[in-house]
Amino acid sequence: MSLKLNTKYLEGFVSGEDLGKLKPETEKALSFFYENKSSAPGNDFHGWRTLPEDYDKKEFAEIKAAAEKIRNDSDILIVIGIGGSYLGARAVIEFCKSKNYNLLPGAKPQIFFLGNSLSPTEITEVLSLTKDKDFSVNVISKSGTTTEPSVAFRIFKRRLVEKYGEKQANERIYVTTDRSKGILRREADENSWKSFVIPDDVGGRYSVLTAVGLLPIACAGIDIDKLMKGARDAMNDLKERDVEKNQACRYAAIRNILLRKGKFVEMMVCYEPDYTMMNEWFKQLFGESEGKENKGILPYSGIYSTDLHSLGQYVQEGERILFETLVSFKEPKCDITIEKEENNGDGLNFLAGRKLSYVNKTASQGVILAHTDGSVPNIILELDRMDEENLGYLIYFLEFSCGVSGYILGVNPFNQPGVEAYKKNMFALLGKPGYESQTEKLRARL
């Protein structure tokens, strides 16, 4: 098993008795993936659960071939998508490669993520980067109608045609969308763009292990077989039906117990900056899955020790509404030994001969003791290495935990009705056909 749920620092916050009391609800939540599936809310979006085994092998090979072509003919890949059609790919690339991936020697293609905001500055900047470079575009949208990626795609489609002419431009567009529905599917078919499918039964925030994530990830030179293998290992481990032995069920139960004790905010923390975008992916996964019907834990995040110097004060002494989930890796990607200095001008010789990873680890130990003393319960998810297999395991573990946790909470973890509210207002304010009846009313409120 490559992930260990360490509950040592929950002492005094979550007891065996608490877990025992929640056991029937946890068992019921788990049964929604098995014998009670037909009555499970959102059961038409359970496809992610068997994906590490049941994925489309033919398409998987095509993803690898497309990635190879892009790696050969493009200096830059523009990945256009938002939310679940964006965060997973970026999180995996930055975690497995580096947060500074685009600056690393031999980073070909460089990968830029657009269509996740409406900022003209961001688009203008990346447009200027493509001026003298060969580039391709991977546009990702399940609905095919989301405004942010649609606008960015229109701009980059035009840029491709200006640079390469229509025929060659069409060979540099890769579409990931629904199998049969939506504007993007229609455009892809009409123009013979190479396209990949987002399965019907996999929702956006659960889609990183489909072509949504896999194509950009493979373009970055990351081993997608290993990523799937890690996820498959987790899937097999989490087939455990005893909720006391199933680590994802235990994590899900602990979260709900803490919530019921007034811990409304879960702060996922990691001592590795390359985890930054994984935090963002986690926030979408849990926030969009659980935040509904006036319920849910607010997912929050931090990179330590960086954020100890900005948020540390609040965590230690602010409102006691927080718990932390520390994602910890036994081995760093690489290490540095701190050298001795003859004059010890900076007073750091007490660390001479120590590895920087040891200092980082020791910081985390000091923090856990301080934060638990300050009434911040700490859950630890321990993994071995920062590699594809461990990450695939963690991704599946968090997805599974999120499903079980949402069911314990009593919501449908697989819909996102609240995301539509802002879209309707934006469309009405922009005068989109079909939304005009609300335009004046909304403008009057501004």
Nearer to ligand PA5, 299 or 377 (CB): 299
Residue 215 carries which side chain, given as an amino acid letter? L
Active site residue 317: no
Q: Which residues from 102-141 bind ligand PA5, rule CB under 6 A?
A: 141
Q: Please report how the helices 420-430 and 436-444 are oriented relative to each other, as an axis angle in degrees rounded to 10.
A: 90
Q: What distance in Å separates the CA atoms of residue 297 and residue 302, rounded to the nearest whole number?
A: 16
Nearer to ligand PA5, 42 or 332 (CB): 42
C-alpha closest to that of 112 among 83, 147, 138, 141: 138
Among 2, 26, 74, 85, binds ligand PA5 (CB under 6 A): 85
Tokens coding 413: 């973890």
Among 233, 272, 280, 288, binds ligand PA5 (CB under 6 A): 288
Q: Which residues contact 35 (CB under 8 A, 6 or more apart)?
A: none
Nearer to ligand PA5, 83 or 392 (CB): 83
Q: Closest approach of Cβ 142 to ligand PA5, in Å? A: 4
Bridge-based pairing of strands 76-80 and 135-140 is: parallel
Q: Closest approach of Cβ 150 to ligand PA5, in Å? A: 8
The span of 203-211, 237-245, 310-318, 331-339 binding ligand PA5 (CB under 6 A) equals 203-211
Question: Between 221 and 260, how does the x/- string for binding to ligand PA5 read (CB under 6 A)?
Answer: ----------------------------------------
Helices (H) and strands (E) in the chain, counts: 16, 10
Q: What distance in Å separates the CA atoms of residue 366 and residue 430, rounded to the nearest whole number?
A: 52
Our finding on whether 147 is near ligand PA5 (CB under 6 A) is no
Our finding on whether 388 is near ligand PA5 (CB under 6 A) is no
Choose the catalytic residue: 99, 333, 423, 432.
Answer: 423
Question: Between 338 and 377, how does the x/- string for binding to ligand PA5 read (CB under 6 A)?
Answer: ----------------------------------------
Backbone angles phi, psi at 384, to 5 degrees: -80, -60
Question: Between 37 and 76, how does the x/- string for binding to ligand PA5 read (CB under 6 A)?
Answer: ----------------------------------------
Nearer to ligand PA5, 155 or 356 (CB): 155
Q: Which residues contact 34 (CB under 8 A, 6 or more apart)?
A: 241
Q: What distance in Å separates the CA atoms of residue 432 and residue 152, rounded to the nearest whole number?
A: 17
Could you say which DSSP state residue 338 is in? P
Nearer to ligand PA5, 30 or 175 (CB): 175
399 close to 307: Cβ distance less than 8 angstroms: no
Residues near ligand PA5 (CB under 6 A), total: 15
Our finding on whether 205 is near ligand PA5 (CB under 6 A) is yes
Q: What distance in Å separates the CA atoms of residue 291 and residue 284, rounded to the nearest whole number?
A: 10
Q: Measure Cα distances from 424 to 94, 203, 204, 290 in Å.
A: 33, 21, 19, 22
291 close to 101: Cβ distance less than 8 angstroms: no
Tokens coding 181: 């529905």
Nearer to ligand PA5, 202 or 243 (CB): 202
Active site residue 309: yes
Q: Closest approach of Cβ 65 to ligand PA5, in Å? A: 24
Q: Which residue has the tokens 């963002």?
A: 280
Number of neighbours of residue 302 by Cβ within 10 angstroms? 21
Distance between first and last Cα of the chain:
54
The span of 38-46, 158-166, 201-209, 365-373 binding ligand PA5 (CB under 6 A) equals 201-209
Nearer to ligand PA5, 357 or 412 (CB): 412
Nearer to ligand PA5, 85 or 210 (CB): 85
Our finding on whether 299 is near ligand PA5 (CB under 6 A) is no
Among 204, 213, 230, 299, binds ligand PA5 (CB under 6 A): 204
Active site residue 226: no
Phi-psi region of 12 (alpha: psi -120 to 50; beta: other; left: phi over 0): left
217 close to 196: Cβ distance less than 8 angstroms: no
Residue 282 carries which side chain, given as an amino acid letter? F
Our finding on whether 149 is near ligand PA5 (CB under 6 A) is yes
Among 47, 83, 291, 377, binds ligand PA5 (CB under 6 A): 83
Q: Give residues in contact with ligand PA5 (CB under 6 A).
A: 82-85, 141-143, 146, 149, 203-205, 288, 416, 419
**Active-site residue numbers?**
288, 309, 423
